[in-house]
Amino acid sequence: MSSMDRRTFLEFLGKSTVGMIFIPPLLSSCTSDEWKTIVPIAPASVDRIVLADGFFYDLLIKWGDPISATDQFGFNNDFNAFIPFDPAKPDDGFLWVNHEYIHSGFVSGYWGKGAKSREQVEKEMYAVGGSILHIRQKRNGAWEVVKNDPLNRRITGMTDIPFQWPTPIYGRTSAMGTLANCAGGVTPWGTFLTCEENYDSFYGERDFQTGGLKPGSDKWYEQFDNPPEHYGWVVEVDPRTGAARKHVALGRCAHESATVASLPDGRVVVYSGDDANDQCLYKFVGSEPNTLEKGTLYVADLEAGKWLPVDFAQQPLLQQHFADQTEVLIRLREAAHLLGGTPLDRPEDVEIDPHTGAVVVALTNNLAKRNFYGSILRIEEDGGDHAALHFRHDTLLTGGPETGFACPDNLAFDAGGNLWFTSDISGSYMHKAPYEDFKNNALYVLPRQGPQAGQILRVAVAPTDAEFSGPWFAPDGRTLFLSVQHPGENTGRPDELTSHWPDGGDSIPRPSVITIRGKALDELQMSFE
């Protein structure tokens, strides 16, 4: 990190003018003399997880593990979020896990030859969506899934999910399933949000100029006649009942994430990136407390520092191009660009700094613009008010050989306010120019305080072809839930597996959730005297 980057980061962490929102409790305090520094690890090309000293991991659950008498854990787990049943007992509760997409060979045995059968498509539909799990921490500190607990459920690509909207969406009031579930969020009323990101690979996408369908690579439309308009939404799931609904008011795009901020009057704001080259950043501001059913969707204009309402009633320009607000929301990308939303370099995860209220956005890369390494954007809302219509912004960190990371994707703040992020160098570019020196994808932390404040520390390396995703901290900050997604993704033939993680030997790779704990994690969250 250059001295300028380091100073900027320290200023960002320590002196932001944004209002204080919430400061989680720190574990204890120590002096700089007592602080054990973390020795960051080097890039690695290995088929296992490498961790810096002071951290260790346990495997919590992997693809195919039974969670009940009838259901199994899905494929390519991404977002994780934990909600305790009782805030006073933070070691026992619901873990929600997204299952984003499939590797047809592993999931359905379809290796690209001939037509995919209905049975194969059904297997793939079962593998996506999400898992609701009852998990708890044992006396020795390790976490376990409570097997066969009646609370354990699957939501899949076949679950009937109603639209939360007054009129039907493309002729129906509910969709068949959810898919492409990437990142998400948690509401203050104890539900999970899961985002449908690259939905077009399953049922394709409509060309709104011609009305024709652009096919998707997974070809589910050959077996099921579901319109693309039924996907690309933010889905809310109540873990107590398993009930889910698609919130049309939040718009339709390749939603990466749905990060929730609470307003003092009980309304919520949801930030979401649309992960594709030159797509936009959005925020939804609810108009009533404790619900996402009604509110206004805005798109970010970074040049003017303004949030622009994507609202048919307020925007004559939208009235010229669309029939009504339903069409605006279905064709959100087109509406956002018409209004002057700023094209960004793949806006992915969004997090809110718990100490300053600043909104932090991962901009992964934009290969078409030769932005190979990506950056992390910071937005400060006027007066620290998440409902504000004006903001300032700057670049918090820039990826590249000098800073040691590339393609930031998921973000998380821990209880000590340290910023963690994962890298997502795509499988087709990993180990090739200009990414070869970064080797496998990794997990990084930027300590907020102490002698390593502002340094970018690589603390974990993922197995072959995998990315780490869905970082989420337990309420006490002493466990990091983390997905190990798509190990062995570049496998093209069943007899040429590129990874055997986690079971080793000749086994096929299995995406899994791990828990990272350790003295180094505890120490990172101590306050300084």
Q: Could you tell me the smallest distance in angstroms from the CB atom of residue 100 to ligand FEO? A: 6
Instruction: Locate all alpha helices (DSSP H) within 395-514, ordered by sequence.
Output: none
> Cβ contacts of residue 348 below 8 Å, gap of 6+?
183, 256, 257, 273, 275, 361, 362, 363, 364, 408, 409, 410, 424
Instruction: CB nearer to Ca ion: give 229 or 424.
Output: 424
Q: Which does 381 bind (CB under 5 to 8 A by kind): Ca ion, ligand FEO, none?
A: none
Q: Which does 236 bind (CB under 5 to 8 A by kind): ligand FEO, Ca ion, none?
A: none
* Stretch of 147-155, 322-330, 402-410, 450-458 lying at the interface with Ca ion (CB under 5 A): 402-410
Cα distances from 25 to residues 13, 114, 436, in angstroms, run: 17, 57, 40
> Cβ contacts of residue 68 below 8 Å, gap of 6+?
147, 148, 149, 150, 152, 153
Q: What are phi and psi of 447, to 5 degrees?
A: -60, 140
- Site for ligand FEO contains 345 (CB under 6 A): no
* Stretch of 96-104, 233-241, 338-346, 347-355 lying at the interface with Ca ion (CB under 5 A): 347-355
- Site for Ca ion contains 424 (CB under 5 A): yes
Question: How far is it, in rounded angstroms, from Cα 311 to Cα 325?
Answer: 7
> In terms of DSSP bridges, do strands 192-196 and 181-186 run parallel, antiparallel, or are they unpaired?
antiparallel
Instruction: CB nearer to Ca ion: give 116 or 458.
Output: 458
Contacts to ligand FEO from residues 230-259, by CB under 6 A:
256
- Site for ligand FEO contains 197 (CB under 6 A): yes
Q: Could you tell me the smallest distance in angstroms from the CB atom of residue 443 to ligand FEO? A: 15
State the virtual CA torsion across 66, 160, 254, 430 in degrees, nearest 10: 20
Instruction: CB nearer to ligand FEO: give 47 or 197.
Output: 197
Instruction: CB nearer to ligand FEO: give 218 or 523.
Output: 218
Going by C-alpha positions, the residue among 424, 402, 504 that lies closest to residue 469 is 424
The owner of tokens 């609470």 is: 262
- Site for ligand FEO contains 100 (CB under 6 A): yes
Question: How far is it, in rounded angstroms, from Cα 347 to Cα 299?
Answer: 12
- Site for Ca ion contains 274 (CB under 5 A): no
Contacts to Ca ion from residues 12-41, by CB under 5 A:
none
Residue window 453-492: x/- pattern of binding to ligand FEO, with contact defined by CB under 6 A? ----------------------------------------
Size of the site for Ca ion (CB under 5 A): 3
Instruction: CB nearer to Ca ion: give 348 or 381.
Output: 348
Q: Which does 229 bind (CB under 5 to 8 A by kind): ligand FEO, Ca ion, none?
A: none
**DSSP labels for 160-221?**
EEEEESSS-BTTBSEEE----EEEEEE-TTS-EEEEE-STHHHH-EE-TTT-PEEP-TT-GG
Q: Which does 414 bind (CB under 5 to 8 A by kind): ligand FEO, Ca ion, none?
A: none
- Site for Ca ion contains 351 (CB under 5 A): no
> In terms of DSSP bridges, do strands 160-164 and 244-247 run parallel, antiparallel, or are they unpaired?
parallel
Which spans of this chain sit near ligand FEO (rule: CB under 6 A)?
Answer: 100, 182, 197, 256, 275, 348
